A and B are shown apart, each in its own frame.
Chain A
């Protein structure tokens, strides 16, 4: 048990729709990172938030956006969904935003776009 939770567990959307995924970090962890994991692949870094500010972004278009709140919760929003957005979305929390900080992952949200 990492203490990181995500909701919902599964989600089905249609192309063009918008979706919001939620994550609750471990208490005291100032950093949350979001990853997209396509089937058969390793997780790919989407972006990271440190103390409610974006602190790095991977190679994802602007229709992927996020928010981090003071109560250790965060959101990943995806607009104009495409079929290729179907994946497992993982959030991970860590104490800080350094390379040495171990990230603790939630169980993920499986998004299917039809």
Chain B
């Protein structure tokens, strides 16, 4: 069965520090998709990135970067030079390509990130 583990429940860092959020996943499929979402206090999940299992290139988008390593089944997310506006809950999620009818997308429990001014 598929599973997503975000071992860090809560992280606090001082503004401008770099921070990495960990995500480890389990899946039986060779084709799958990984996602990161941000959930600010307003509640809406904001899509950040989608990565398919065949693309292991790291990705950078501004202050955000993602490190995908199939060998360790990890898809970690780093925020460089953090800002107070980055404070939110971040979710990692996994979707299998074969789309089992009962298992669409699995979310981790989230990491609550506090950026202190």
Residue positions of A touching B, CB distance < 8 A: 2, 33, 40-45, 48, 55-59, 88, 90, 92, 97-100, 102-108, 110
Contacts and interface: CB of A to CB of B under 8 A. Distances in A.
Contacts of B106: 45
Contacts, number: 77
B47 A104 contact: yes
A92 B52 CA distance: 20
Contacts of B102: 56-59
A108 B97 contact: no
Given A42-B107, A102-B47, 19 more contacts: A2-B44, A33-B105, A41-B109, A41-B110, A42-B108, A43-B107, A45-B104, A45-B106, A57-B102, A59-B102, A90-B45, A98-B97, A99-B97, A99-B98, A99-B104, A100-B97, A105-B46, A107-B44, A110-B43
